[in-house]
Structure 1
């Protein structure tokens, strides 16, 4: 006979499967080639590491810093 821990584990696994399935169906947008703030080129390594990015790493860091304060 299953106990409450078994039910909780089954529920957790079901929710995890749902989250993973929805993650796979997310379509990634392409990254910008030029920063929307300063206009500099966004390096290809950044575009690959952060799909959908629109800012260079410096402008992104400044934006995040401004949002904190």
Structure 2
């Protein structure tokens, strides 16, 4: 029966679901398959340590950083709102 009140732990359940979704999205974006020795964007050599750490890597670090910046990687949900709204 719906009572209009959230159950105990409902907020934590929502946070857990958001984190699980973010992890799933991040894992789907990981490269797969055989990695490249040279960056497909700039033809710079991809160091062996990076290829070992990231199987399936296709871009060098500077090119990957550029792609991440363009795609807005790292931006998440702000559940608390702005700092100004918290101060009022």
TM range (shorter): 0.5 to 0.7
Aligned to 1:42: 46
Say if 2:57 is the partner of 1:57.
no
Structure-1-length-normalised TM-score: 0.56
What corresponds to 1:10 in structure 2? none
Please state which structure has a larger fraction of its residues in helix. Answer: 1
For residue 54 of structure 1, report the CA deviation from its aligned partner: 0.3
- Partners of 1:30 and 1:59 in 2: how far apart? 18
Instruction: Give structure 1 regions of 4+ aligned residues with deviation exceeding 3 angstroms.
Output: none
Structure 2 residues without counterparts, runs of 5 or longer: 1-31, 74-88
- 1 or 2 for the larger relative contact order (CA 8 Å, sep ≥6)? 1
- Residue 59 of structure 1 and its aligned partner are, at CA, apart by 0.4
- Structure 1, unmatched stretches of 5+, are 1-27
